[in-house]
Every structure is written in C-alpha cells, then in structure tokens.
C-alpha cells in the first residue's frame, strides 16, 4: 500500500512535469520525457513514509532497517498469539495465550512510547515472541486434526507448560524494561517523604 502510494505520487508529479514542459513551455518531447522521469523519481522518493514511534523517527535510530523488521515480525507474532487466544480448543491454552498476548501488547506499547529502549527489548522481540508464536502455530495445526490419542493430551500439557514459562519470561522482560522508571519513581517518593519530615 505504501509503495502504491509512492508510485502514484511519482506518476502524478512526472505526468505534471511532462504536461507543463511539453504543452506550456514548448520543450521538445524527448527533453520533456526526461524531465518527467526526473519528476517521477523525485515524487517517489520524497513521498516515502517514515516510521515513527512516539514522535521519534525510526530512520534516525542506529540500525533503523533492523528495528523496522523486528517490529514488523513482532506484530505478526502477536497476531498469531491473539488468534490462538480466541480459537484454541482448550480453555487453559486460550487463557494462557490471552495473558501472553496482553503482556506482549503492553511491552510493544511501552517500547513504542520509548523507542530508544528497542535495543534493550531485542531478545523479547526477536526470541520470546517468535518462540511463543511458533509453539502456538504448531499446537493449533496439530490440535485441528481432532485426533484423540494420548500424545495429543501430552501435547496440550507441554504447550501449557511452555506458555507458563513464556508468561514468566514476558513478565521478567517487562520488569527489566521499566526498571529505571521504577527507580526514578521510588527516588521521587523518597524525596517527597524526606521533604514532609523536614517540614514537620
């Protein structure tokens, strides 16, 4: 969709440049076509959208391309987790998936508001989310067979255990991300308490 928009802007500008050059300025057709091609590329490149998180241009951060790819993949992984939280046959898998999804959304929202923390959240974004997504995809694929064998019950129990481990990992990752803010709040509270004591 973004590439389509860029192409459309490029075509409109290129077409406009050609029309003005050839029709109004009476420049020969070959030179007008060359100007039009320049107008197309100029329009295409200047209409390139920039990804912003909390008003920070991602392109200005180190490893911008990698960060964009990581966020894109994280959103795809969260979509898989969310789908499982709605569609899984077992209530326990649905509930644990829902908790994972809610935690994942909270972390993604937090780093979207604090994009400089993206490198710190890289392990969560590229490993934990991806692992959760892959486990749930495989679980859903096998569970969809509705085959009643002992191994399916074992698969459910293994998946539940994995969800518990991942939920704990998500919580730890979030605590690490907000640790500095927690220290700041605690320091502010301490200053407030000390001020109140001094004022009697």
Q: Taking a C-beta distance cutoff of 8 angstroms, is the pair 12, 22 a contact?
A: no
What total of structural domains would you count in the chain? 2
Whether residue 18 is found in the same domain as residue 39:
yes
**Higher-scoring residue by pLDDT: 44, 85:** 85
Whether residue 30 is found in the same domain as residue 106:
no
Whether residue 29 is found in the same domain as residue 84:
no
Residue 168 has pLDDT above 90, yes or no: yes
The pairing of strands 56-57 and 52-53 is antiparallel
Whether residue 41 is found in the same domain as residue 118:
no
pTM exceeds 0.85 for this model = no
Give the other-Cβ count within 10 Å of 10's Cβ: 20
Q: Which of 29, 46, 63 is the last residue of a domain?
A: 46
Whether residue 37 is found in the same domain as residue 57:
no
Largest CA distance in the chain: 88
Whether residue 83 is found in the same domain as residue 158:
yes
Phi, psi of 180 (to 5 degrees): -60, -40
* Averaged confidence pLDDT in the chain: 79
Residue 54 has pLDDT above 50, yes or no: no
Percent of the chain with pLDDT over 90: 6
Whether residue 32 is found in the same domain as residue 68:
no
pLDDT at 2: 55
Q: Taking a C-beta distance cutoff of 8 angstroms, is the pair 101, 85 a contact?
A: yes
Q: Taking a C-beta distance cutoff of 8 angstroms, is the pair 78, 108 a contact?
A: yes
pLDDT at 195: 82
Q: Taking a C-beta distance cutoff of 8 angstroms, is the pair 24, 1 a contact?
A: no
Q: What's the number of CA atoms in the CB half-sphere (13 Å) around residue 13?
A: 18
Whether residue 77 is found in the same domain as residue 31:
no
Give the other-Cβ count within 10 Å of 3's Cβ: 10
- Kindly state the average pLDDT of the residues 34-48: 73
Whether residue 59 is found in the same domain as residue 42:
no
Q: Taking a C-beta distance cutoff of 8 angstroms, is the pair 162, 135 a contact?
A: yes
Containing structural domain, residue 35:
2-46
Q: CA-to-CA distance for 41 and 193, rounded, in angstroms? A: 62
Percent of the chain with pLDDT over 70: 84
Give the other-Cβ count within 10 Å of 183's Cβ: 10
Whether residue 141 is found in the same domain as residue 179:
yes
pLDDT at 80: 87
Q: CA-to-CA distance for 152 and 115, rounded, in angstroms? A: 41
Whether residue 10 is found in the same domain as residue 29:
yes
Whether residue 40 is found in the same domain as residue 57:
no
Residue 96 has pLDDT above 80, yes or no: yes
């Amino acid at each position: 969709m973004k590439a389509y928009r860029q192409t459309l802007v490029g075509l409109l500008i290129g077409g406009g440049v050609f029309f003005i050059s050839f029709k109004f300025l009476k420049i020969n057709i070959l030179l007008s076509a060359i100007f039009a091609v320049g107008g197309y590329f100029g329009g295409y490149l200047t209409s390139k959208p920039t990804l912003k998180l909390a008003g920070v241009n991602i392109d200005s951060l180190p490893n911008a391309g990698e960060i964009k790819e990581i966020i894109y993949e994280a959103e795809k992984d969260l979509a898989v987790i969310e789908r499982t939280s709605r569609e899984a046959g077992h209530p326990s898998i649905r509930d644990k998936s829902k908790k994972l999804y809610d935690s994942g959304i909270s972390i993604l929202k937090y780093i979207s508001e604090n994009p400089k923390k993206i490198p710190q959240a890289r392990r969560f974004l590229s490993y934990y989310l991806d692992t959760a997504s892959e486990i749930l995809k495989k679980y859903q694929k096998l569970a969809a067979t509705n085959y009643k064998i002992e191994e399916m019950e074992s698969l459910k129990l293994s998946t539940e255990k994995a969800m518990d481990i991942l939920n704990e990992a998500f919580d730890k990752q979030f605590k690490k991300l907000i640790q500095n803010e927690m220290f700041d709040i605690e320091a502010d509270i301490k200053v407030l308490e000390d001020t109140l004591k001094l004022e009697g």
